Structure 1
Amino acid sequence: MNKTLTLLLAMLLTLLFGSCKSKQQAVQTVALHESTVVELESVEIAGDSAAIQVPFEHLSSGALTSGVTVSPNGLRLLWELRRGTLDIRAEKPPEQIHYPRTTITREVPVEVVKEIKVNRIYWWQTLLMWVGVASIISIGYRFYRVFYNKK
């Protein structure tokens, strides 16, 4: 019977000390967050030019000797007639083209395990536990003496 009492006491102590859990894992899920950003990107197209010289033998009097023409898309045509040569120059200024660029950002929720102390045991609670354990051992020993030491 002594082994049975020892086994019972060991199980009781294991139950007492094993059930006092002071930390608990908490899992928090975070909602999915999606954001869309639209930005205007610009691309610069370089300008270009071309020049032509055409020789002339005869210039009539009173005629225009130079001029500039600009087309709706920005092409400039410059011409000038001097000393028997017609100089034609075409210039295309640099352009900037704007186009929208869409960026979609999705934040994927990640499970983060965070330990939270849910039951902080103060010093006086620990003292009460030890007093309770000592009382249980004392009561158990007294029952043992009363019931098994009658001989």
Structure 2
Amino acid sequence: MNIRPLEKKDLPHIYQQRNSRSVMALWFEEPYTSFDELSILYDRHVLDQAERRFVIEVDDQFAGVVELMDINTIHRHAEIQIIIHPDFQGQGLAQKGMLAGLEYAFSVLNLHKIYLIVDVDNAAAVHIYKKIGFQEEGCLKQHYFAEGKYHDSYMMGLFANDFKK
């Protein structure tokens, strides 16, 4: 497994993910993005210092994305998100991709805390995040609407000094 910065050539893979209802439900987002919209967003955000997007590759194949969002250099925190392509799920890539993203966040960007939001019913993801060292900081009740219903979500956080142990 390897991670590298997202490139424009990756947009067809992102387009496929962004229009998958089951994938986008995990991010509590609507599965609707045109390729033109995605290209414009890429061009607008490619130089945005508040975001870092990495492609997860296995044998030079697109396997997923790990993203650091809302990077705040004053408070030194950011949100992390990950999506593994269905063809590559069950291979431990979510954990490896998260670890690579966290290593970058803490060692390169010198962030103090990384947080995430996850559906309380996504037991597999919650298990992975806890295994990495994330701790539940609270529960957002009926905070997101996806797949026809409201979802409770855990807010989880990990501090740099806990990650480096």
Q: TM-score interval w.r.t. the shorter chain?
A: under 0.3
More helix by share: 2
More strand by share: 1
Query: If the length of structure 1 is used for normalisation, what is the TM-score?
Result: 0.16
Query: If the length of structure 2 is used for normalisation, what is the TM-score?
Result: 0.15
Bigger radius of gyration among the two = 1
User: RCO higher in 1 or 2 (8 Å CA, sep ≥ 6)?
Assistant: 1
